[in-house]
Amino acid sequence: MAVRIVLADPPAFTPAYDHALASALAGTGADVELVTSRFRFGASPPPDGYVRSEIFYPVSSRVFRRSRLRVPLKVLEHPFGVAALNRRRADVLHVQWLVPELDDRVLRPRIPSVFTAHDLLPRRTAAKQRLWSDLLARFDRVVVHSERGRETLAGLGIDATVIPHPVFPSAPDRHDDGRTALALGVIRPYKGLGDAVEATRRAGARLLVAGDPLEPVDAYRGDHVEWRLGYLSEADLDRALGDATVAVFPYRPELDQSGALLRALGAGVPAVAYDVGGIADPLIRFGAGKVVAPGDVEALAAAIAEVLNDPEPFRAGARRAREELTWDASARAHLALYEEIV
């Protein structure tokens, strides 16, 4: 009998990741249901071999986008979503994202369970280590994307399993001019956009900023910067990746791995990044870019210039990452983990 898996991403934080993993697991013959909410910023990928149930936040995810009025309604809706999740019949519950202050009170997995710590200790609640230690201890297994992530959670007494984040493969039409760096993804303070602006200016590069801003961006304006603001459709993503010679990720230490980085590598675009979380892992392992010390803007500029000067060896590294970091391999690793607890 096929293993029955419920993947849960209540806030729909990572619909592309959810879809890719659910599809890959279904491709192995597993019976997969993705339990989530309506994605507020665009269309979710159509299910491929799995079932998607949008049971969380039926009102707040449809009526509000980023209004502050959404939060109190979401608080009221969350326990009903968890109750519906608990009624699912499955062999394994695999939670992708938590709402920590709420789940601390209402989430008690009743079947073998797994949690993936995409952001390790998310920004808003990182200081509440007791909260996270208690929450993570409720799961039979915890997944991280890097050895550094495993070491971070070991400090909370959590023995995590490393399953590398796969790339998102694509083949955009290439139109880059040989001097364009791309800052891709939702614009938040921890993404270090100011460092990207300054480093590309010093490197004599053009910077393309493509993403939805969650912070004011006026302070980052510059003559060498092009802006494509808003939630990016798949076509918009391909266009931005096709225009990029290198992608830049001057992140602050808060996350384990970057989905935007894996999109860039999957499109054959090399990257330059600060050495935070597990971001360095695929760049070093596959020779897909350069890694510099966090906060060193001068080193970041030099690394950007080096890749722009001779991008082809790094592009070859990005292609190697795409060939090895596949969703099929991730699905097999997850199934092996599920077998340990079922």
Q: Is the pLDDT of residue 30 over 70?
A: yes
> Domains in the chain, start-ordered, CATH in brackets?
4-166+327-341 (3.40.50.2000), 180-324 (3.40.50.2000)
Percent of residues, the chain, with pLDDT higher than 90: 80
Q: What integer pLDDT is reported at residue 65 of this predicted model? A: 60
Taking only the tens place, the pLDDT of each residue in 95-105 is: 999 998 899 99
Q: What integer pLDDT is reported at residue 123 of this predicted model? A: 53
Q: Is the pLDDT of residue 180 over 90?
A: yes
AA letter at 317: G
Q: What integer pLDDT is reported at residue 68 of this predicted model? A: 67
Asked whether the whole model's pTM tops 0.85, one would answer yes
Dihedral (CA of 11, 15, 20, 23) sign:
positive
- Mean pLDDT over 181-209 rounds to 96
Q: What integer pLDDT is reported at residue 254 of this predicted model? A: 72
Least confident piece of the model among 9-23, 71-85, 267-281? 71-85
Q: What integer pLDDT is reported at residue 253 of this predicted model? A: 80
Percent of residues, the chain, with pLDDT higher than 70: 96
Q: Is the pLDDT of residue 124 over 60?
A: no
Q: Is the pLDDT of residue 67 over 80?
A: no
- Mean pLDDT over 181-207 rounds to 96
- Report the greatest alpha carbon distance in the chain: 60
Q: How many CB atoms lie within 10 A of CB 285?
A: 14
Least confident piece of the model among 26-30, 253-257, 291-295, 320-324? 253-257
Q: What integer pLDDT is reported at residue 291 of this predicted model? A: 98
Please give the backbone phi and psi of residue 314, each rounded to the nearest 5 degrees, phi first: -75, -35
Q: Is the pLDDT of residue 187 over 80?
A: yes
Q: What integer pLDDT is reported at residue 120 of this predicted model? A: 72
Q: What integer pLDDT is reported at residue 269 of this predicted model? A: 98
Least confident piece of the model among 48-57, 117-126, 304-313? 117-126
Q: What integer pLDDT is reported at residue 122 of this predicted model? A: 56
Q: What integer pLDDT is reported at residue 131 of this predicted model? A: 87
Q: Is the pLDDT of residue 121 over 80?
A: no
Q: Is the pLDDT of residue 125 over 70?
A: no
